[in-house]
Amino acid sequence: MSQTNKGSLIVLSGFSGAGKGTIVKSLLEKYPNYILSISCTTRKPREGEVDGREYFFITEEAFTEKIEKDELLEHARYVDCSYGTPRDFVEKMRNAGRDVILEIEAQGAAIIRMKCPDAILVFIMTPSAQELEKRLTERGTDSPEKIAKRLRRAEEEIKCIPDYDAVIVNDDLDRAVEDVHQAIRVLGWRPCSRQELIRSFAEGLSGINGKRA
């Protein structure tokens, strides 16, 4: 958390299959100030996924209604489905001082960057493209067609990496978790993440100088 009362907003993106989910799970277990935002999606649940835990699984109509009511902080299409971040939860948690993690793809990350310039954007990669293909195939959750789509999408996403603040390679899980945590900590020291602190310091200084004049 930065040295203001408000928690950080952290975007974790990465190629599908790069191990973002596992890294997030481990971060949440190790560091209690992190909290994960649960997204809405129109994708069908995979085996073992529970509504309200991995995602809020909703219909296209319900998704459109959320957009119309401005209830989503960002949203994007990804491989034939819609995904979006509920705004309310993020704001409430940040205001309560929690560091909120969004596990989202690159289009959504770009929207967050625009709307929340102090957000911390981290991109997770596998050590190589071959390793990515291997992990997607071995995961066994997607059909060969879906895997092909996810790999093509990776070609698009790689072009967005320069817009992130940090790139972490997930070769060894424990190291990747620590690298992500350290990157978040250090990026929380940027002036844009410390605006509240700088503003209150400036006010204090102006008060002191006013009295001394």
Between 8 and 16, name the residue whose CB sits nearer to ligand 5GP.
16
Nearer to ligand 5GP, 34 or 78 (CB): 78
**Nearer residue to ligand 5GP within complex by CB, 62 or 198:** 62
C-beta of 29 vs 49, nearer to ligand 5GP: 49
Closest contact distance (angstroms) between CB of 78 and ligand 5GP is 4
Separation between Cα atoms, residue 64 and residue 79, nearest integer Å:
17
Structure-block tokens of residue 204: 């204090």
Please report how close the Cβ of residue 100 comes to ligand 5GP at its closest, in angstroms: 12
Residue listed under structure tokens 């899980």: 173
Tokens of 50: 């529970």
> Are residues 101 and 34 in contact, defined by beta-carbon separation less than 8 angstroms?
yes
Identify which of residues 43 and 135 has a Cβ nearer to ligand 5GP in the complex.
43
Extract the tokens encoding 71: 């209830």
Nearest to 87 by CA among 27, 38, 21, 33: 38
Is residue 35 within 8 Å of residue 99, measured between CB atoms? yes
User: What stretches of the chain show up as alpha helix (H) in DSSP?
Assistant: 20-30, 60-68, 87-95, 106-115, 129-139, 144-157, 173-187, 195-212
**CB 76 → ligand 5GP: shortest distance, Å?**
4
**Minimum distance from CB of 142 to ligand 5GP (Å)?**
8
- How would DSSP label each residue in 62-78? HHHHHHHTT-EEEEEEE
Residue of this chain nearest to ligand 5GP (CB atom): 108
**Which residue lies nearer to ligand 5GP by CB, 103 or 118?**
103
Beta-carbon count within 10 A of 201 CB? 11
Pairing of strands 9-14, 99-103: parallel
Q: Are 123 and 167 in contact (CB under 8 A)?
A: yes
Under the rule (CB under 6 A), what is the footprint of ligand 5GP? 16, 39, 43, 74, 76, 78, 83-85, 103-105, 107-108
Output the smallest distance, CB 94 to ligand 5GP, in A.
16
